[in-house]
Amino acid sequence: MLDIRLVRENPEMVKEASTLKRDPVDVDSILELDSQRRAIIAEADELKSERNAVSAEIPKRKKAGEPVEDIFERMREVGESISGLDDKLREIDEELSGLLLKAPNIPHESVPVGDESANQVVREWGKVTKPEFEVKPHWEIGESLGVLDLTAGAKISGSGFYVLKGAGARLQRALISFMLDIHASDGFTEIAPPFVVNSASMTGTGQLPKLADDMYHIDKDDLWLIPTGEVPVTNLHREEILASDTLPVSYAAYTPCFRREAGAAGKDTRGMIRVHQFDKVEMVKLVHPDSSYDELEVLVGQAEKVLQALEIPYRVLLLATGDLSFAASKTYDLELWSAGVANWLEISSISNFEDFQARRMNTRFRETKGKPQFVHTLNGSGLALARLIPAIMENYQTADGKINIPKALQPYMGGMIQIG
């Protein structure tokens, strides 16, 4: 959520920034509601002040045996005025916070301006080699080796669900342990959170109110299936004031992710690439505002570490303003080349949200002296399994139609060196 003071003091900046994000904010309405709100508060507070003063008089009068009926009469009217103003204030507050909750975060100054085509390749790691044989896309090699079954997924759940079998299922489990071990040894605390959360949590990280249609909702209990581990893990500290020496807080969590993917269809939806349920290891950080951009670089490095350990070539992309997600100030994507879809695939997205989520969650920290301040939050995939598994199936494919197990992963596969 944007700071209302920021909107009040820099309305043009907010208008421009939201336009760059292709999500223009109705700044004028916000300002109008804001000034109405303040006027009503001033009026109501004055009446309340009067009521409090008179209330203090009543017991004294009673003690002195003086009549109080006339005061009751007047205070009844004052009370009615107050509740009228309070009702109106509630309406305005609701409307105002509705607008504010739908306003996107402001891009950081270092973010390139433009649409997707303005994304910048920051660096590349490893080199994409073209093997002499024709690499089969993961859905073909996976099906032929009996480790991936898309038909079964469609049967038991529907289109957009997959089933891993045998060494495929083991591979996924191995990757989860492998990645969590890396993060844990680098100081991340492992978290096993709920996979279903309430609306307050979804609002806290910014999925609600705008992205409701992209998520699965359980009507009966008014709960949401998490679209990413970011939601439960970041919300761990909702409505809290942390001691400053607890920062930075670093978490890593394995969770499934559920996404409705309404309207998604096309070439890159084949196989495991765009599905309704996938597994992911997510990293989350809560940090001091002064260090959040340094932490962002570190977090990108942490995600890279996994790909490097697996020896899979990738590139790091700095997203342009128009490609940034709703809550992000700055985002790097890690992409790797997929022979299957002949395209770069996003395998990780690492973002700094500054205080945008913290403000929604009311997550603050206190330094030894001074007022509580909002923390900055970051998160990044480390990594998404439904992209990583295809990457391994395609990058580690052999000419005779088998899949080698990356060396670092072999201990996690009980020593297995090849599938097939």
Active-site residues, by number, are: 259, 274, 346, 349, 387
SS3 content of the chain, % helix, strand, coil (to 5): 45, 20, 30
In one-letter notation, the amino acid at residue 349 is S
Classify burial at 398, counting beta carbons within 10 Å of its beta carbon; exposed 0-12, middle 13-18, buried 19 or more. Answer: middle
Strand partners, 254: 281
- The radius of gyration of the chain's CA atoms, rounded to the nearest angstrom, is 27
Q: How far is the CB of 328 from RNA (least distance, A)?
A: 24
Q: Which is nearer to RNA, 31 or 54 (CB)?
A: 54
Q: How far is the CB of 136 from RNA (least distance, A)?
A: 40
Q: Which is nearer to RNA, 375 or 409 (CB)?
A: 375
Residue written as token pair 């009503």: 40
Going from the C-alpha of 243 to that of each of 237, 367, 372, the distances in angstroms are: 12, 7, 9
Tokens matching residue 316? 């790091």
Q: Which is nearer to RNA, 339 or 361 (CB)?
A: 361
Query: What residues line the site for RNA (CB under 7 A)?
Result: 4, 38, 41-42, 44-46, 48-49, 51-56, 58-59, 62, 71-72, 75-76, 78-79, 90, 241, 364, 366, 368, 371-372
Q: How far is the CB of 408 from RNA (least distance, A)?
A: 33
Tokens matching residue 212? 């409701």
Q: How far is the CB of 58 from RNA (least distance, A)?
A: 4
- Report the distance separating Cα 349 and Cα 215, nearest Å: 19
319 touches 329 (CB < 8 A): no
Q: Please give the backbone phi and psi of residue 266, each rounded to the nearest 5 degrees, phi first.
A: 145, -170
410 touches 417 (CB < 8 A): yes
Count other Cβ atoms within 10 Å, centred on residue 103: 23
Q: How far is the CB of 238 from RNA (least distance, A)?
A: 14
Q: Which is nearer to RNA, 79 or 301 (CB)?
A: 79
Q: Which is nearer to RNA, 127 or 369 (CB)?
A: 369
Count other Cβ atoms within 10 Å, centred on residue 279: 19
Q: Which is nearer to RNA, 75 or 191 (CB)?
A: 75
Tokens matching residue 347? 């395998």
Q: How far is the CB of 35 from RNA (least distance, A)?
A: 8
Tokens matching residue 296? 């962002």
